[in-house]
Amino acid sequence: MIAKSKKNNSGIIGILDLQGGVYEHLDHLQRLGIAARKVKRPPDFKNLAGLIIPGGESSCISRLLNIFEIKAPLLTAFGRGMKIWGTCAGAILLAKHVVGEDSCLGLIDIKIERNSFGSQLNSFKSEAMIPRVSAKPVPLTFIRAPKILTAGKDVEVLLKVDDYIAAAESASVLVTVFHPELTGSPAFHRYFAVKCGLNPAVNTKIYTDQEWNPCSWTRLARNF
């Protein structure tokens, strides 16, 4: 079992603002009462309790990390205790082993394969029980998702589906091959906040996908 982090006084989670569902993650964190900010420049890493790397295209994000000169500051912040959560492409960037290509950050001992379900047309939704994360079924959205094929001895599997791992964590890193930010459930964002040593709101409404407004994040574009 991965130990919970000690309380972190900075209380801020950053979202890497290079590609992907940045505002969707901000929206979920705001619902939990967690302070959050976009991260795009080296100074933005200062005093972060955690960092979310959204989905997108992993090779593109990898290049942008170098173009914006933030790969080194990211690794430095991680070395100082910042936790990281990668969703979909973010999980690929964090993996130590990537089938057919070099790893980017290599911060969690997993082997992952890109686009394992096929094309965009093979994207799908489902749900699963993940006891460590929620007492209720968690909705899952897979978009050109990768598959985690194996996990090292210091990695705990949170969700396995058929022959692949869909969610896993080490002491400092969380990875999901699906997109929790594209559902009405804040369960994974709450779980990550606790992993970062924060105290998310406990009475946050959990929406079904039918109740949730998937465009609720658009109000944030004017404020961040």
Helical pair 187-195 and 22-31, crossing angle rounded to 10 deg: 80
Q: Is 211 a catalytic residue?
A: no
CB 88 within 8 A of CB 146: yes
Tell me the C-alpha distance between 16 and 19, whole Å: 8
CB-CB neighbours of 4 under 10 Å: 10
Residue 88 appears among annotated catalytic residues: yes
Q: pTM for the complete prediction?
A: 0.88
Angle (CA) 146 151 153, round 5°: 165
User: Catalytic one among 88, 104, 169, 196?
Assistant: 88
> pLDDT (tens digit, 0 to 9) for every residue of the chain, 224 residues total?
665 565 554 689 999 999 988 999 999 999 899 999 999 999 999 999 999 999 888 999 999 999 999 999 999 999 999 999 999 999 999 999 999 999 999 999 999 998 766 555 457 788 999 999 999 999 999 988 899 999 999 999 999 998 999 999 999 999 999 999 999 899 999 999 999 999 998 766 555 555 656 666 555 555 55
Q: Which domains does the chain have, with CATH numbers?
A: 12-222 (3.40.50.880)
Is-catalytic flag, 189? no
